[in-house]
Structure 1
Amino acid sequence: MAHRSRLSGFLIDCETGDLLSAATFWSQALGLTVGGHEVGETSEYVGLEGTPAGLNVGLQRVTHPSRVHLDIEADDQDAEAARLEALGAKRIGWVKRWWVMEAPTGHRFCIVKMEKPDEGPPPTVWK
């Protein structure tokens, strides 16, 4: 069965106790505006607004060393994970609502659920 996917955006993983200060730095560095701030029991996110091409760019508090990772959004996350595994990626694990993957190069990325398939650049259809 065919599925669709596309680049969703980038997350700046921050090993910090002050995510709002990190968001202020990155918003100024990138010429963006600090957006919504979500704090959960085990998570914290800050969105950045005004991104080019409607990309989702944000920061998240993490317990591993700081890094940047990209998100791929798909209407069928399992099919997209299987497609990428066939290209050499491996599944690291299911976290909350997304697959954490690792590219053959060692880079981590996530496959998230496609929220607005009719907005933004058209997704690629994979057969």
Structure 2
Amino acid sequence: MQIRWLTAYLDFAAAQFGTEVTYWRAITGSTVSPPRGPHREFATLEPFTGDSHLRVQRIEEGPGGVHLDIHLDDPRRAAVEVTELGGSLVADHPTHLVYESPAGMRFCLVPVHGTPRRSGPIRWPEDTISIIDQICIDVPPTMFDREVTFWSLLTGRPTRPGSRPELIGLRRDRALGLGILLQRLDSGTGDDGFPVRASAHLDLATTSVVDEVGRHEGWGATVVTRFAHWTVMADPVGRRYCITDRNPRTGQ
């Protein structure tokens, strides 16, 4: 299965959609495409160079989140392999197939259009360079090894150690706009005591975490936790993501 492109979808609750699109457009330096879909629920965050790897969706139920679209020449043919690897079909639509990974991470198989070209990072007025270039899949501890194996086999990318023991990355395909990182959670249950499923958040690479954090705070984000090489942020409605000390051009 040859993956031609990866797109991260930000799924926003209807009441938050306008506020969230404005915020994420601003911090990524993007423009927003005209809405599309039967209910005008989809839009693209369009970069100044290259092709988009970030899109937004308005959902009518639930808190939203992040899911991954995998672009392929023949999604239905690829679906056979996904099932053999342990993926579970959730919905079969004329335009795409919705699957879940073994740990419950949602993703879609969609047809590729054209030959997508990786976008470049943005240089901001304070001379900081940044780009959202990674999706991090947060996995319950009991499913972590299984999930790492699933995504490595699905993408055909070998694993690489992260900066901490709980992080495992997939080696980057330089042709794609997004990298994939997996993080082992501390617990397999949520605050309500129920088991948690795998979910995802976005990571931004920057040449200056301090400058980037300040810029995001100016748009209404707040700092959640600071670590040596990254800072966990919450956007204006509480959605978490990370600003990381990585090379925005290589992802390393």
Specify if TM > 0.5. Answer: yes
Distance 1:83 1:51 in 2: 35
State the AA in 2 paired with 1:71. D
1:110 match: 108
Contact preservation (8 Å) 1:20, 1:46? no
Return the structure number with greater strand share: 1
The normalised TM-score by structure 1 is 0.78
- 1:15 is aligned to 13
Is 1:57 the counterpart of 2:74? The answer is: no
DSSP-derived class of the 2:14 partner: coil
Contact 1:19 1:46 (8 Å CA) reproduced: no
2:164 maps to: none
Determine helix, strand or coil for the equivalent of 1:36.
coil
Compared CA separation, residues 19 and 39, structure 1 to 2 (3 A): farther
**Superposed structure 1 runs of 4+ greater than 6 Å apart:** none
Q: Comparing both chains, which one has the higher relative contact order based on Cα–Cα distances under 8 Å and sequence gaps of 6 or more?
A: 1
Equivalent residue letter for 2:95: R
Shift of 1:21: 2.5
Equivalenced residue count is 118
- In the other structure, the counterpart of 1:31 is 29
TM-score for both structures, normalised by structure 2? 0.42
Q: Which amino acid aligns with 2:55?
A: G
Percent identical pairs in the alignment equals 26
Q: Which amino acid aligns with 1:31?
A: G
Q: Please list every run of 5 or more consecutive structure 2 residues that lacks an aligned counterpart in the other structure.
A: 118-174, 177-252
Deviation at 1:15, TM superposition (A): 1.1
1:5 maps to 3
